[in-house]
Structure 1
Amino acid sequence: MTLRSTILAALLGAGLALPAAAQSVLRVVPHADLKTLDPVAVSVSITRLHGLMIYETLFAWDSGLQPRPQMVERWSVSEDGLTWRFTLREGLRFHDGRAVTTRDVAASLRRWMARDIVGSRLGDALASLDITDERSFALVLKRPFGLMTYALGSAVGAIPAIMREEDAATDPGRPIATTIGSGPFRFVREDWMAGQRVVYARNPDYRPRSEPADGLAGGRVVKVDRVEWRNIPDASTVAAALQSGEIDIWEQVATDLVPVVSRQRGTVVDRLNALGTQGMLRPNSLFPPFNDPRARLALAYIVDQAEAMAAGFGDQRWWRRCEAFFVCGTAYGSEAGSAPYARPNLERARSLLAEAGYRGERLVFITTNDIPWIGRMAEVAAAGMRQAGMNIDLQYNDWGTVITRQPRKDPPAQGGWNIFATGASGATMFHPLTNIGTGMACDGRNWAGWPCDEEAERLRLAFIEAADEAERKRLAEALQARLAEVQPYRPLGQADMPYARRANIEGMLPSPVMVFWNVEKR
């Protein structure tokens, strides 16, 4: 059997029939299978990617992570910073043909503010959301919120996707199953095969903005008829399919295959953006021992970033050490307070664990091999923790199970967990407003792990409310130093996430999330 026939057999065996030759089809292997369709219900990368295909947001981040108007035509803010007025673009329509109105916007924003870390901060400052007419509305604040447009264009966490009013008005705690947005692609439900294939078709009624595409902002001009996501778990099969042209884009190349794929004729390996991904080890602060910050600090003395990064990402040209919670090389990328644990110190770790009252109890470490670099980092972290005398139960699940276990607050012995390894995009982590791991509010509404520290949260909120950039930088430095003491998570370093494409694929946009408008096949 030839290589081509082997690949075709594998693809067709997975139910991935090739479309008609007359269509321009972009075939993509994403980093994970799509399980949750609601981009407001979960802060999972694959669901966010899906959400940006079919929904739009009021604003959008450009390649420099600056907010630009997307669904909004014009906006203004009062001199006291308390009243923001917005007018929607003309011609916005949902996939079912209905016009997008401010009633849809109001319901969508309320749902997002009830679910998302960024949204909740805006919600805390909001006095009222007032509808003027079908296209105009106002957000009236109790106190200034200078990051308004940045928040309304958020491409991290649970995105502020604008949905139909009846969808957005449902219980925010329950994911919706409908997929009717107003974006440049529509979800082709009849072609969706869970675990195998996700299909999107060009929305012929979509009217893009007139500005050039720039990151997530500007004109979202679709240049292909269909985009098919294909779930092919075996990395070697993906590499072979890319070489033969059976797939066009591999969103995250397996690190051990980067050298192989780089040498393939007709294949390009590249970076999507300059900020990469931050690896992280997230402990559960609800239960011993990690409810004590001394036990969390012990992790900083246990895990060597270089070992974790090398295991996860291989060649050092794809990763770097970085102790900055807000990402090295960015405006807020200070490493203040982290010098003492730049290298492992197991003796100090054991002492801190003893002070925290740890006596060898079993600790549940949940992880996955579905995303290989996560599993490899977890193995390195678990090995270091065992060396420090910790009793680690490393439990492997599929990625869908891991992300459904993460939000559970059950005791570890009853289906909960003590710790997990993961990563988040630099675009998420570089900013104190959007960094999902550094929210330490003591109300239990922060991200899975639920650490509580009033001083860290005071500094973070002061940053959000700061009036100018100089003050934000000063507060970010102070916040970094405090986080280094209380360790809401252990940064594992910073890595580029190389993607690969066929050489005939043009128009890939530098962006915090991979997008498929502006992309064409030559």
Structure 2
Amino acid sequence: MRRTLTSAALGLATVLLLSSCMGGQAGGGAADGPPKPGGNLNVAVPTDPQSLDMVANPGQVTAHIGNMMYEKLFEVDRGFTARPMLVEDYTTSPDRLTYTFKLRQGVTFHDGNPLTSEDVVASLKRWQQVHRTGQLVTPDIEAITPADPATVTIKLKQPRYPLINELAGAGTEIYEAKNLTGVAPTGFGQDKAIGTGPYKLKTWDIGRELVLERYAGYKSRTEEDWGGQAGAKHAYLDTVTYKVVSDQDALINGLQTGQWDHIMPTNDQYEPLRNNPAVVVHNLPGGNDNVVIPNFNTGSKFADPRAREALNLLLDKPAINAATGGSKDLTLETGAFASPDNKQFYSTAGEEVYKAHDPEKAKQLLAAAGITAGATIRIVTTNSYPEFGKWAVLIQDSLSKIGINTKIDTFDFATMLGTLTKEPGGWDITTLFFDSALTSPAQMPALTLGTLNGSTSPELDGLMAEFNASTTPEQAKAVVDKLQAFTWKQLSVITLSQSKLYAAYSPKLKGYGDFYRVFWNTWLAS
């Protein structure tokens, strides 16, 4: 979804990365019957992935397709717990400073070359340099080295509580070392989109469709039924075809007429689809944190904290959610950054700030910040995800009621992100959503947006360090509360709500674990 990203844009490494954590369950339920190998699955996606480099281009569609092709040292299961994937086993030294990872034997890349420790080291070093989470982890890493062809060692400068979770996160996909030499910031090309996963790239008609085919040389784990992104992967389907369908009407009609077998529509389509007996509708784990992002950078009207406080007070969040959220089953009105499913990171800190609504005080604060009647606020958004554009229009309406003008610039998603990063002071507000099921603060854009909107601060850095130094879940959770409270204090993001996600699919799709767009353990019934 993103073509050209600077390191600032990579602060959004987990934006829309619902899939960086998820995949299909191992096998199907008893009601699905025995698996039936073969066939092609048609999956409709809202935008072309633009790139299959998941470090340079960590958007949702790229991640969902990439998860079929690439693997990591660890992946998370259906309960968001990190499990070994390319790792056979590992040890941690008593001082928690040295991790030794033994790689699984017999794993090969799609070109037939064996996985080695050199590939792992090259991939993780690139993650450190280019990916936002890797950049945040790097100060704690002394060295990542290949101890032998099948062993990798990570030596830390100080203990890091969430390291294994971070190695299961976005950007740690393992690529061949030879394909990472001299890769541009925009990422590698199609010819180097080679992983160890159960499916490999077959064809790609950019802007229209992308086809994956089963990798005959795939070496699965055994029969661990961990679900999520972890465990055994059977690759029953011959091919999976991802069709680019941006129009919601075409998306729904195509599912109903059998043009595609799986879709993830907008929330306003939920009730009609749920009432349609010809399709299956199922909620997905985790969800989205729907946010408005004010710009802290010099040149933006929201560099003044009074303006950010005013924006939060101005927005009638229940009304905005009612206008764009679809079914009440899918909308959770909360200021939390993490889904309630994500128990380690769900917090109610800052809830009183989230609920505050006072347009008159907002008008006074804007005036104090120099934003008076006739001023123009610049909003950058996209209609690639229709909710974003709708939120922008509703913000525009709220500002117009107190005499403030707005200029909305609407781009495709990749161009929008490029605009935000190329012109740090050239915008005031943008709209996005984040994954609410991540497992480390370094993965959470609500806490790491500083490279995008200039919201870095020593206090935030100190809280992040405090979390990393935790030794128990209880200590870590207490810091999560402080991190969320601080973010609501400085208003680096303003959360509108959380949205649960759902998929709608053909009854022919069997063995689907209701985990986004990953289908290695699914098949098509006759």
Structure with larger RCO (C-alpha < 8 A, sep 6+):
2
| Alpha-carbon distance in structure 2 between the residues aligned to 1:172 and 1:464 | 31
**Cα drift, residue 364 of structure 1:** 2.2
2:196 is equivalent to residue 196 of structure 1: no
CA separation of 1:340/1:272 partners in 2, compared to 1, >3 Å: closer, same or farther? closer
2:443 is equivalent to residue 439 of structure 1: no
2:436 is equivalent to residue 426 of structure 1: yes
Q: Is the CA contact 2:334–2:354 (under 8 Å) kept in the aligned structure 1?
A: no
Match of 1:451 among 448, 451, 455: 455
Residues 207-244 of structure 1: CA deviation (Å, up to 9, x unaligned): 11112251001012211011001112222222122112
| Alpha-carbon distance in structure 2 between the residues aligned to 1:45 and 1:431 | 19
**Cα drift, residue 475 of structure 1:** 1.3
Partner of 2:390: 376
2:173 is equivalent to residue 169 of structure 1: no
Match of 1:97 among 102, 109, 112: 112
Partner of 1:350: 363
Q: Is the CA contact 2:335–2:350 (under 8 Å) kept in the aligned structure 1?
A: no
Q: Is the CA contact 2:268–2:324 (under 8 Å) kept in the aligned structure 1?
A: no
**Cα drift, residue 343 of structure 1:** 4.0
Secondary structure of the residue aligned to 1:182 is coil
CA separation of 1:96/1:485 partners in 2, compared to 1, >3 Å: closer, same or farther? same
- Letter of the structure 2 residue corresponding to residue 463 of structure 1: F
2:406 is equivalent to residue 396 of structure 1: no
**Cα drift, residue 421 of structure 1:** 0.7
Q: Is the CA contact 2:287–2:339 (under 8 Å) kept in the aligned structure 1?
A: no
| Alpha-carbon distance in structure 1 between the residues aligned to 2:465 and 2:514 | 30
CA separation of 1:394/1:198 partners in 2, compared to 1, >3 Å: closer, same or farther? same
Unaligned runs of 5+ in 2: 1-36
Q: CA RMSD in A?
A: 2.0
**Cα drift, residue 161 of structure 1:** 1.0
2:41 is equivalent to residue 32 of structure 1: no
| Alpha-carbon distance in structure 1 between the residues aligned to 2:277 and 2:105 | 46
Secondary structure of the residue aligned to 1:459 is helix
CA separation of 1:238/1:327 partners in 2, compared to 1, >3 Å: closer, same or farther? closer
2:122 is equivalent to residue 107 of structure 1: yes
Between stretches 211-220 and 261-270, larger displacement belongs to 261-270
Match of 1:186 among 200, 220, 226: 200
Residues 83-112 of structure 1: CA deviation (Å, up to 9, x unaligned): 110111011111111111111111110111
Q: Is the CA contact 1:111–1:172 (under 8 Å) kept in the aligned structure 2?
A: no
Partner of 1:472: 476
Partner of 2:90: 75
CA separation of 1:407/1:219 partners in 2, compared to 1, >3 Å: closer, same or farther? farther
Partner of 2:494: 490
| Alpha-carbon distance in structure 1 between the residues aligned to 2:186 and 2:79 | 33
**Cα drift, residue 510 of structure 1:** 4.5
CA separation of 1:327/1:272 partners in 2, compared to 1, >3 Å: closer, same or farther? closer
CA separation of 1:36/1:448 partners in 2, compared to 1, >3 Å: closer, same or farther? farther
**Cα drift, residue 172 of structure 1:** 6.0
| Alpha-carbon distance in structure 1 between the residues aligned to 2:126 and 2:69 | 18
Secondary structure of the residue aligned to 1:139 is strand
Secondary structure of the residue aligned to 2:75 is strand
For residues 187-226 of structure 1, what are the structure 2 equivalents within 5 Å? 187-188=201-202, 191-210=203-222, 211-226=224-239
Partner of 1:363: 377
Q: Is the CA contact 1:243–1:265 (under 8 Å) kept in the aligned structure 2?
A: no
Residues 393-432 of structure 1: CA deviation (Å, up to 9, x unaligned): 11122223223323324441xxxx322111112213x752
Between stretches 465-474 and 318-327, larger displacement belongs to 318-327
| Alpha-carbon distance in structure 1 between the residues aligned to 2:505 and 2:469 | 42
CA separation of 1:122/1:370 partners in 2, compared to 1, >3 Å: closer, same or farther? closer
| Alpha-carbon distance in structure 2 between the residues aligned to 1:127 and 1:201 | 39
Q: Is the CA contact 1:73–1:88 (under 8 Å) kept in the aligned structure 2?
A: yes
2:287 is equivalent to residue 283 of structure 1: no
CA separation of 1:324/1:254 partners in 2, compared to 1, >3 Å: closer, same or farther? closer
- Letter of the structure 2 residue corresponding to residue 254 of structure 1: T
Number of positions where the alignment pairs a residue of Structure 1 with one of Structure 2? 483
Partner of 1:268: 280
Partner of 1:88: 103
Match of 1:66 among 60, 63, 81: 81
- Letter of the structure 2 residue corresponding to residue 520 of structure 1: W
CA separation of 1:498/1:254 partners in 2, compared to 1, >3 Å: closer, same or farther? same
CA separation of 1:316/1:482 partners in 2, compared to 1, >3 Å: closer, same or farther? same
| Alpha-carbon distance in structure 1 between the residues aligned to 2:451 and 2:325 | 25
Partner of 2:157: 142
What TM-score, normalized by structure 2, do the two folds share? 0.87
**Cα drift, residue 163 of structure 1:** 0.8
Residues 51-104 of structure 1: CA deviation (Å, up to 9, x unaligned): 212111110011111100000111101000111101110111111111111111
CA separation of 1:383/1:118 partners in 2, compared to 1, >3 Å: closer, same or farther? same
Q: Is the CA contact 1:199–1:228 (under 8 Å) kept in the aligned structure 2?
A: yes
| Alpha-carbon distance in structure 2 between the residues aligned to 1:461 and 1:387 | 42
Unaligned runs of 5+ in 1: 1-21, 441-445
Q: Is the CA contact 1:103–1:134 (under 8 Å) kept in the aligned structure 2?
A: yes
| Alpha-carbon distance in structure 1 between the residues aligned to 2:283 and 2:162 | 28
Q: Is the CA contact 2:382–2:412 (under 8 Å) kept in the aligned structure 1?
A: yes
Partner of 1:249: 262
Identity %, equivalent residues: 27
